[in-house]
Structure 1
Amino acid sequence: GSDKALLIDTGAVADSTQMPLAKKVLELLPDKDKAKIPLLVVHTHGHLDHRAGDSQFASFPSVKVVPADLEAVRAFFAFDNWPDGIAQVELGGRTIDVIPTPGHHPAHVAFYDRRTGILFSGDFLMPARLTMEDSAAYHASAVRVVNFVQTRPLTHILGGHIELDTAGHAYGMGSHYHPNEHRLELSKEDLLALPAALKGFNGFYARYPSFILSNPRHNLAALAISAVALLIFIVWAVRRLLRRHRRSTP
Structure 2
Amino acid sequence: MKPLLLLCLLSAAYAAQPALPRRIDFTSNLPAKGTFPEKWIHGSKSLLDNHDPPVQVHWFNEHTVVLRENKAYNYEAAFMYLYFGNDRAILLDQGSTALRSEWPLRDVVDGVVAQWCKRNGRKDIPLVLAFSHLHGDHWAAQNQFADRPNTRIMGLTHEEMVGFWGMTKYPEERVEFDLGGRKLLIWGSPGHVEDEFAYYDSYTQILFTGDMFYRGYCYITFWDHWMESMARLMRFADTHPIAYVVGCHVEMKKTGEFFTYGTTYQPDEAPVQMDVAMLRRTYEFAKKIKKPGVYFTGDVYLCNQTRMTSTLDVNPYVY
Secondary structure class of the residue paired with 1:145: helix
SS at the partner of 1:36? coil
Cα RMSD between the aligned structures? 1.9
Query: Is 2:295–2:301's contact at 8 Å kept on the other side of the alignment?
Result: yes
1:86 corresponds to 2:167: no
- Say if 1:166 and 1:60 are closer, same or farther in 2 by CA, change over 3 A: same
CA–CA distance in structure 1, aligned partners of residues 136 and 307 of structure 2: 19
Unaligned runs of 5+ in 2: 1-84, 311-315
Corresponding residue pairs, total: 221
1:179–1:33 Cα change, 3 Å: closer
The percent of aligned pairs where both chains have the same amino acid is: 26
Deviation larger for 195-204 or 4-13: 195-204
1:67 aligns to 2:151 (yes or no) = no
Partner of 1:107: 195
Contact 2:282 2:299 in 1 (8 A): no
**1:26 match:** 110
Q: In the TM superposition, what whole-angstrom CA distance separates every residue of 1:109-131 from its partner, at most 9, and x where no partner exists? A: 01100011101111111101000
Alignment of 1:1-250 (within 5 A): 1-29=85-113, 30-31=116-117, 35-201=123-289, 202-214=291-303, 215-216=305-306
| CA shift digits 1:180-235 (9 cap, x unpaired) | 21111111101112322322223211002221011225969xxxxx8xxxxxxxxx
Could you tell me how far 1:135 is from its partner in structure 2? 0.3
What CA distance in whole angstroms lies between the structure 2 residues aligned with 1:76 and 1:206?
35
For 1:40 and 1:33, how far apart are their aligned partners in 2?
A: 20
Q: How far apart are residue 16 of structure 1 and its match? A: 1.3
Cα separation, partners in 2 of 1:44 and 1:148, compared to 1, 3 Å: same
Q: Which amino acid aligns with 1:130?
A: C
1-structure distance, mates of 2:104, 2:309: 37
Cα-to-partner distance string for 1:71-94 (whole Å, 9 max, x where unaligned)? 112211122111111011111010
- Change in CA separation of 1:133 and 1:153 when aligned onto 2, cut-off 3 Å: same
- TM-score calculated relative to the size of structure 1: 0.83
Letter in 2 for 1:142: M
**Match of 2:148, as an amino acid?**
F
Match of 2:43 in 1: none
For the residue of structure 2 that corresponds to 1:131, the secondary structure is strand
CA distance in 2, matches of 1:191, 1:111: 15
Q: Distance in 2 between matches of 1:189 and 1:34?
A: 40
CA distance in 2, matches of 1:122, 1:68: 16
Change in CA separation of 1:217 and 1:13 when aligned onto 2, cut-off 3 Å: closer
Q: Give the secondary structure class of the aligned counterpart of 1:99.
A: strand
| Distance change (3 Å), C-alpha of 1:183 and 1:23 | same
Are the equivalent residues in 2 in contact too, given 1:68–1:107 (CA < 8 A)?
no
Separation in 2, partners of 1:157, 1:200? 23
Could you list the runs of 4 or more consecutive aligned residues of structure 1 that deviate by over 4 angstroms after TM superposition?
217-220
- If you compute each CA radius of gyration, which structure gives the higher value, 1 or 2? 1
The separation in 2 between residues aligned to 1:204 and 1:73, in whole angstroms, is: 31
Q: Which residue of 1 aligns with 2:47?
A: none
* Structure 1 unaligned residues grouped into runs of 5+: 221-225, 227-250
CA offsets 1:34-56 (integer angstroms, 9 cap, x no match): 63110000000010000110000
